[in-house]
Structure 1
């Protein structure tokens, strides 16, 4: 018997985008480096190695985020307990939209994501560094 998908990725993205804050790449760039903001790159490490990374962005692989933000999880990362705005991005904006919706539903706030993701960041001339970074740097 064939699988019956009751919710498509397209419908999930529409629901997420209707309920979350989406920043333009220019808005994200204007917040880059602020003490009260943390840019979070949810791309796979291979994507970062291939394309580069945003300087100062925290790398949090998509598959671990729910565990990393939950203070009751053994995988909790204290950075997610800080009083900051969390701005998520992926390669093109789809994974980060779904992520932002999920984490917002879990109670993380304030959260937003970057329209167009890292691709838009690079196209707009945003700073990019090689990955992996030197030891001791954030991410």
Structure 2
């Protein structure tokens, strides 16, 4: 195996943007119009994977389940001690983040785990809010 030393600041062999592009090529992406029609659909659960600071600063989509990105795989896995049944109750998950990069990667990760009932929101929360779709202030429980 050829190991070359990468110097700090050198480009990575596979940059983050490439990982996102690869994920988007194999997952379902919902347009704002499609997602807007599904936000109140009882067969879909919107899942906000942004950082809690983003919820506080920018608001949330009403009714969305909040699952920080770093815990998502553990929260959907029935064998994990962190399992959240709300994320595994038969509804299709619609993941979103700020700009659809993290949600693309997260959707691909859930596909890799065997979850095919998951999609993500094109453009993320920023596109959703700019389009005038419903948002509300975050209230900690």
CA distance in 2, matches of 1:124, 1:6: 36
Q: 2:64 aligns with which of 52, 57, 64?
A: 57
TM-score scaled by length of structure 1: 0.91
- 1:119 is paired with a residue whose SS is helix
- 1:19 is paired with a residue whose SS is coil
Structure 1: 5+ residue stretches without partners: none
Q: 1:47 aligns with which of 29, 32, 54?
A: 54
CA distance in 2, matches of 1:37, 1:81: 11
1:125 aligns with 2:115: no
1:72-87 counterparts in 2 under 5 A? 72-87=79-94
Structure 2: 5+ residue stretches without partners: none
TM-score scaled by length of structure 2: 0.90
Runs of 4+ deviating beyond 2 Å: 1-6
Residues 98-125 of structure 1 show CA distances to partners (whole Å, capped at 9, x for unaligned) of: 1100111111231100110001111111
Asked if 2 retains the 8 angstrom alpha-carbon contact of 1:86 and 1:109, the reply is no
Asked if 2 retains the 8 angstrom alpha-carbon contact of 1:69 and 1:108, the reply is no
How many residues are aligned here?
134
The structure with the larger Rg is 2
CA distance in 2, matches of 1:113, 1:81: 16
- Alignment RMSD (CA, Å): 1.3
CA distance in 2, matches of 1:47, 1:80: 21
- 1:38 is paired with a residue whose SS is strand
